Amino acid sequence: MRNKSKTTAFMGLFTALALILAYVEVLLPPLFASLPGIKMGLPNIILVFLLYRRSACSAIVVSLLRIALVTMLFGNVMALLYSLAGGILSLVVMILLRRWNVLSTVGVSVAGGVAHNVGQILMAMLLLETAELGFYLVVLTVAGTLAGVFVGLCGSALIRKIPANFLFLDK
Amino acid sequence: MMKQKNVNKRHLRNDILLIIVLLLVAATGAAYLFLFRGFGDVVKVTVDGELYGVYSLSQDRTEDISTGEDGRQLNRLVIREGKAFIQTATCPDGICAAHRAIFRNGESIVCLPHGVVVTVTTAQTQGEPDVVV
Ligand SMILES: [Zn+2]
- Residue A126 located in a structural domain: yes
Among the four given CATH numbers 2.60.320.10, 3.30.420.130, 2.60.120.620, 2.60.40.2310, the one describing domain B42-121:
2.60.320.10
**Residue A38: per-residue pLDDT:** 60
Which of B8, B18, B29 minimises the CB distance to A138? B29
Q: What is the DSSP secondary structure assignment for residue A30, as one 8-state letter?
A: P
- Residue A33 located in a structural domain: no
Q: Answer yes or no: pTM beyond 0.80.
A: yes
Domain containing A47: what range? Answer: 2-27+39-168
Q: Are B14 and A132 within 8 A, CB to CB? A: no
The helix/strand/coil state of B106 is: coil
- Residue A132 located in a structural domain: yes
Which residues contact residue A147 at a Cβ distance below 8 angstroms, ignoring those fewer than 6 apart? A31, A39, A40, A41, A113
Q: Cα angle at A80 between A73 and B69, to 5 degrees?
A: 95
ipTM: 0.88
**Residue A140: per-residue pLDDT:** 85
Q: Where are the alpha helices (DSSP H) in B2-132?
A: 2-31, 95-98
**Residue B129: per-residue pLDDT:** 42
Query: What mean pLDDT do residues B104-118 have?
Result: 88
| CATH code of the domain containing A96 | 1.10.1760.20
What is the residue-level pLDDT of chain A in tens, covering all 171 positions?
457 888 888 899 999 999 999 888 877 765 544 455 566 788 999 999 999 998 999 999 999 999 999 888 876 777 788 889 999 999 999 999 999 999 999 999 999 999 998 998 888 888 877 766 777 788 889 989 999 999 999 999 999 998 877 766 665
Which of B15, B33, B99 minimises the CB distance to A106? B15
Which residues from chain B sit within 8 angstroms of residue A107, using beta carbons? Answer: 11, 14-15, 18-19
Q: Which residues of A touch B (CB under 8 A)?
A: 30, 33-36, 78, 82, 102-104, 106-107, 110-111, 114, 124, 127-130, 132-138, 141-142, 144-145, 149
Q: Are A128 and B98 within 8 A, CB to CB? A: no
H or E, element range at B101:
none
- Residue A34 located in a structural domain: no
